[in-house]
Amino acid sequence: MSSTTQTTEAAQEAALHAIDAHGAAEAAGMPQLDFSTFANQIFWLVVTLVVIFFVLSKIALPRIEAILQARQTRITNYLSTAEDMKQKAVEAEAAYNQALADARTEANKIVAEARAEIQAEVDAAAAKADAEISAKAAESEAAIAEIRAGAVDSVKAVAKDAAKEILGAMGHKADAKTVTAAVTARMKG
Q: Which residue has the higher pLDDT, 18 or 153?
A: 153
What is the sign of the dihedral through the CA atoms of 109, 113, 118 and 120?
Answer: positive
Domain-embedded: residue 167: yes
25 touches 19 (CB < 8 A): no
**Would residue 18 count as lying in a domain?**
no
Instruction: Please report which confidence band the pLDDT of residue 161 belongs to, taking 50, 70 and 90 as the band edges.
Output: confident
User: Is there a domain that residue 61 lies in?
Assistant: yes
CA 141 to the chain's CA centroid: 64
Q: What is the pLDDT of residue 111?
A: 94
Integer Cα distance of 148 and 163 in angstroms: 21
Q: 121 falls in which pLDDT band (50, 70, 90)?
A: very high
| Secondary structure (3-state) at 29 | coil
pLDDT, greater one: 111 or 10: 111
Weakest mean pLDDT among 22-26, 52-56, 122-126: 22-26
Checking if the pLDDT of 8 tops 80, the result is no
Q: Sorting pLDDT into bands at 50, 70 and 90, what band is 20?
A: low
Instruction: Examine residue 19 and state whether it is found in any structural domain, yes or no.
Output: no
Type of residue numbered 107? A
For residues 87 and 16, the model is more confident at: 87
Query: Does residue 7 belong to any structural domain of this protein?
Result: no
Single pTM value for the model = 0.39
Question: Would you say 157 and 134 are in contact if contact means Cβ atoms under 8 Å apart?
Answer: no
Q: Give pLDDT, residue 188.
A: 76
Q: How confident is the model at residue 152 (pLDDT cuts 50, 70, 90)?
A: confident
Mean pLDDT over 146-161 rounds to 80
With 80 as the cut, is the pLDDT of residue 83 above it?
yes
How far apart are the C-alpha atoms of 36 and 28, rounded to whole Å?
Answer: 11
State the pLDDT at residue 175: 77
Is residue 11 one of the residues assigned to a domain?
A: no
Residue 131, domain extent: 34-188
pLDDT at 18 over 70: no
Identify the pLDDT of residue 47.
Answer: 97
For the chain, how many structural domains are there in total? 1
Which pLDDT value is given to residue 7?
75
Of the two residues 165 and 45, the one the predictor is more confident about is 45
Q: What are phi and psi of 175, to 5 degrees?
A: -85, 165
Contacts of 41 (CB under 8 A, 6+ apart): 32
